[in-house]
């Protein structure tokens, strides 16, 4: 079963499974295909994280997050023009995606590498534009792409947004993918592709150099594991904040029988908001690249720490984020990452989230490569007390340093059964884009299933709520909460704001009690799950 954001990409993955490839083979092929057909988020020029479960039950975590170029320091954006961390050359971090896919294939792959890259090359020669792609061209995206002729030439052919049914051709990207097919990751990090990326950086005052590209490493790390409601959750460790934050939420919320409360009633939403306020406060302040900063992960992830945090939660009134930690009030909601969940016929599984950061990343294509470059530098703390694109007010720990990975919210996760002997059986593979909302979205899907007994499709479709410490407010998807619940939450002292648009784009696969697989693509944006 392959659940991705795009029918063409899901088809590429399903074909690989049908040919005898396993979940990792399918993930590699899907990763390259998404870079072509989902160019606003799928990528060669971005980064991500991937969890792999082998049929024997061993889970590994691969960190291929971007890094700051060697020439970048903590003061990089202090005197830079507005939006320099989001748009154009300075926003670009060292991309990790190609190295990550090569590393995953090198360790686990069964089908030949070239076989897995080839479908993306075909798609890059031309694919039929669908509605989802057209919807990604928000006005600020079009304005951003127009600033770079190398980007506009590809994504605004003849100067306009492609229409549904048009063929989008990316010949330079096809060439770049051809070099990757023939030379592996070296086809990207060395030679012609690297030369062109570095030339592009020189042209526009960017910092990436040859040594940054050639020196980039993807890292295998022990996955983060914790118990929740009789199950074991396995998620992404630092440098993503995803797993640690999810564990903090789960431990705080384990202090109540969530399943006994009316679903999305006042008490349920109040407890979620109070738990998330605290988990995000710690996340924003303490978490960062563990290879650069000492992070007290064991303390933060201890069940006792969650219980201690829970004791400060009052049931009859809202807390105030200002009393937990100081901060700032601003956010903008968008969703431009992409998640893939795959389970193969032998119980192998992949949970894989990848990003350019915001839609089309820095909006900059390195001339002659077809490769859109990320704007992940904005995920660092660029200025003290100033919220990033997702409204997150982050701390000193996440300041820029050469070679350091910027903190991420990406949370590829698996839920395993609670049995104590033998390998724990796989129950659920899940993840989503959504910037700062990623962790609360993943938590809600898992909690809807484990606490409230809601079936997976409904658990994914259900309206979501969110709190991230600062800004100090509960966000609700359009029409998400009953009027009386909003009224009662306000009476408790919460600010409650209904967003104009829904968020997240969950891709999930569950293993049902009878062993069959159920794939669910979030109805919010039109992803597709295909079973083989």
Active site (catalytic) residues: 337
How many angstroms separate the CA atoms of 150 and 196, rounded?
A: 12
Is 409 a binding residue for ligand DON by CB under 6 A? The answer is: yes
CB of 398 to ligand DON, least distance (A): 11
In sequence order, the 6+-apart residues with CB closer than 8 A to the CB of 470 are 280, 284, 321, 325, 327, 328, 329, 387, 391, 392, 393
Is 527 a binding residue for ligand DON by CB under 6 A? The answer is: no
Is 336 a binding residue for ligand DON by CB under 6 A? The answer is: yes
Is 362 a binding residue for ligand DON by CB under 6 A? The answer is: no
CB of 91 to ligand DON, least distance (A): 11
> Residues for the chain: how many in total?
532
DSSP secondary structure letter of residue 390: T
Three-state DSSP state, 113: helix
Cβ-based nearer residue to ligand DON, 151 or 432: 432
Is 363 a binding residue for ligand DON by CB under 6 A? The answer is: no
In contact, 85 and 91? CB cutoff 8 Å: yes
Cβ-based nearer residue to ligand DON, 283 or 494: 283
Q: Residue 31: what are its φ and ψ, rounded to 5°?
A: -55, -45
Is 410 a binding residue for ligand DON by CB under 6 A? The answer is: yes
CB of 354 to ligand DON, least distance (A): 10
CB of 242 to ligand DON, least distance (A): 8
DSSP secondary structure letter of residue 48: E
How many angstroms separate the CA atoms of 145 and 424, rounded?
A: 47
Cβ-based nearer residue to ligand DON, 184 or 361: 361
How many angstroms separate the CA atoms of 414 and 60, rounded?
A: 11
Is 387 a binding residue for ligand DON by CB under 6 A? The answer is: no
How many angstroms separate the CA atoms of 138 and 231, rounded?
A: 41
CB of 124 to ligand DON, least distance (A): 23
Is 334 a binding residue for ligand DON by CB under 6 A? The answer is: yes
Is 355 a binding residue for ligand DON by CB under 6 A? The answer is: yes
Is 411 a binding residue for ligand DON by CB under 6 A? The answer is: no
Cβ-based nearer residue to ligand DON, 335 or 427: 335
Q: Of the candidates 231, 192, 224, which has an alpha carbon nearest to the alpha carbon of residue 419?
A: 231
Cβ-based nearer residue to ligand DON, 193 or 337: 337
Query: Number of residues in contact with ligand DON, rule: CB under 6 A?
Result: 15
Q: Of the candidates 122, 113, 157, which has an alpha carbon nearest to the alpha carbon of residue 137?
A: 157
Largest CA distance in the chain: 63
Is 412 a binding residue for ligand DON by CB under 6 A? The answer is: no
Cβ-based nearer residue to ligand DON, 335 or 473: 335
Q: x/- binding map, residues 413-442, to ligand DON, per CB under 6 A? A: --------------------xxx--x----
CB of 41 to ligand DON, least distance (A): 7
Hey, how many other C-beta atoms are within 10 angstroms of the C-beta on 143? 11
Measured in whole angstroms, the distance separating CA 188 from the mean position of its chain's CA atoms is 22
Cβ-based nearer residue to ligand DON, 119 or 433: 433
| Contact with ligand DON (CB under 6 A) among 200, 212, 367, 379 | 379
Q: Which residue's entry shows tokens 């079963």? A: 1
Q: Write out the two tokens for 34.
A: 């998404």
DSSP secondary structure letter of residue 232: E
CB of 98 to ligand DON, least distance (A): 17
CB of 210 to ligand DON, least distance (A): 25
Hey, how many other C-beta atoms are within 10 angstroms of the C-beta on 526? 15
Q: Write out the two tokens for 316.
A: 């009859």
Cβ-based nearer residue to ligand DON, 187 or 434: 434
Is 337 a binding residue for ligand DON by CB under 6 A? The answer is: yes
DSSP string, 137-177: --HHHHHHHHT-HHHHHHHSGGGSPPPTTPEE--HHHHHHH
Give the dihedral sign, CA 443/449/451/452.
positive
Cross-strand pairs, 381: 399
Is 357 a binding residue for ligand DON by CB under 6 A? The answer is: yes
Hey, how many other C-beta atoms are within 10 angstroms of the C-beta on 74? 16
CB of 405 to ligand DON, least distance (A): 10
Hey, how many other C-beta atoms are within 10 angstroms of the C-beta on 162? 17
CB of 527 to ligand DON, least distance (A): 14
Is 5 a binding residue for ligand DON by CB under 6 A? The answer is: no
Is 45 a binding residue for ligand DON by CB under 6 A? The answer is: no
Cβ-based nearer residue to ligand DON, 412 or 433: 433
Measured in whole angstroms, the distance separating CA 152 from the mean position of its chain's CA atoms is 26
Q: Of the candidates 296, 410, 517, which has an alpha carbon nearest to the alpha carbon of residue 50?
A: 410
Cβ-based nearer residue to ligand DON, 151 or 358: 358
The residues that touch ligand DON, with contacts defined as CB under 6 A, are 334-337, 355, 357, 376, 379, 408-410, 433-435, 438
């Amino acid at each position: 079963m392959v659940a991705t954001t795009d029918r063409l990409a899901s088809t590429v993955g399903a074909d690989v499974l049908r040919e005898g490839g396993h979940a990792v083979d399918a993930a590699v092929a899907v990763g390259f295909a998404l870079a072509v057909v989902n160019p606003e988020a799928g990528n060669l020029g971005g980064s991500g994280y991937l969890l792999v479960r082998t049929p024997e039950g061993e889970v590994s975590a691969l960190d291929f997050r971007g890094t700051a170029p060697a020439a970048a320091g903590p003061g990089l954006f202090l005197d830079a023009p507005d939006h320099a961390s989001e748009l154009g050359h300075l926003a670009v971090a060292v991309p990790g995606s190609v190295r990550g896919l090569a590393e995953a294939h090198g360790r686990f792959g069964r089908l030949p590498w070239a076989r897995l890259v080839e479908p993306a090359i075909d798609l890059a020669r031309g694919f039929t534009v669908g509605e989802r792609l057209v919807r990604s061209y928000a006005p600020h995206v079009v304005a951003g792409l127009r600033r770079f002729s190398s980007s506009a030439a590809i994504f605004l052919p003849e100067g306009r947004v492609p229409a549904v049914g048009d063929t989008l051709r990316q010949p330079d990207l096809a060439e770049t993918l051809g070099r990757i097919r023939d030379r592996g990751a070296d086809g990207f990090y060395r030679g012609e592709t690297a030369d062109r990326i570095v030339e592009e950086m020189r042209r526009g005052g960017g910092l990436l150099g040859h040594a940054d590209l050639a020196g980039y490493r993807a890292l295998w790390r022990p996955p983060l594991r914790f118990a929740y409601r009789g199950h074991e959750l396995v998620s992404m460790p630092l440098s993503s904040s995803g797993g640690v934050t999810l564990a903090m939420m789960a431990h705080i919320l384990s202090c109540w029988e969530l399943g006994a409360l009316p679903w999305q009633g006042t008490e349920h939403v109040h407890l979620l908001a109070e738990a998330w306020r605290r988990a995000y406060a710690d996340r924003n302040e303490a978490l960062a690249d563990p290879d650069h900063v000492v992070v007290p992960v064991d303390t933060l992830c201890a069940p006792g720490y969650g219980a201690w945090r829970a004791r400060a939660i009052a049931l009859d009134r809202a807390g105030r984020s200002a009393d937990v930690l100081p901060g700032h009030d601003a956010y903008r909601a968008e969703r431009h990452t992409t998640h893939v969940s795959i389970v193969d016929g032998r119980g192998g599984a992949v949970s894989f989230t990848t990003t350019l950061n915001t839609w089309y990343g820095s909006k900059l294509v390195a001339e002659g490569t077809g490769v859109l470059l990320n704007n992940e530098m904005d995920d660092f703390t660029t200025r003290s007390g100033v919220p990033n694109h997702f409204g997150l007010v982050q701390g000193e720990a996440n300041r820029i340093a050469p070679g350091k990975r910027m903190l991420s919210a990406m949370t590829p996760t698996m839920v395993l059964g609670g049995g104590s002997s033998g390998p724990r059986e796989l129950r659920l593979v899940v993840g989503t884009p959504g910037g700062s909302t990623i962790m609360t979205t993943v938590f809600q899907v898992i909690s809807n299933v484990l606490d409230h007994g809601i079936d997976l499709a409904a658990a994914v479709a259900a309206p979501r709520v969110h709190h991230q410490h600062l800004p100090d407010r509960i966000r609700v998807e359009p029409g998400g909460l009953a009027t009386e619940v909003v009224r009662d939450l306000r009476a408790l002292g919460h600010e409650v704001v209904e967003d104009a648009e829904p968020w997240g784009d969950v891709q999930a696969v569950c293993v049902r009690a009878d062993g069959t697989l159920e794939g669910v693509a979030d109805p919010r944006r039109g992803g597709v799950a295909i079973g083989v």
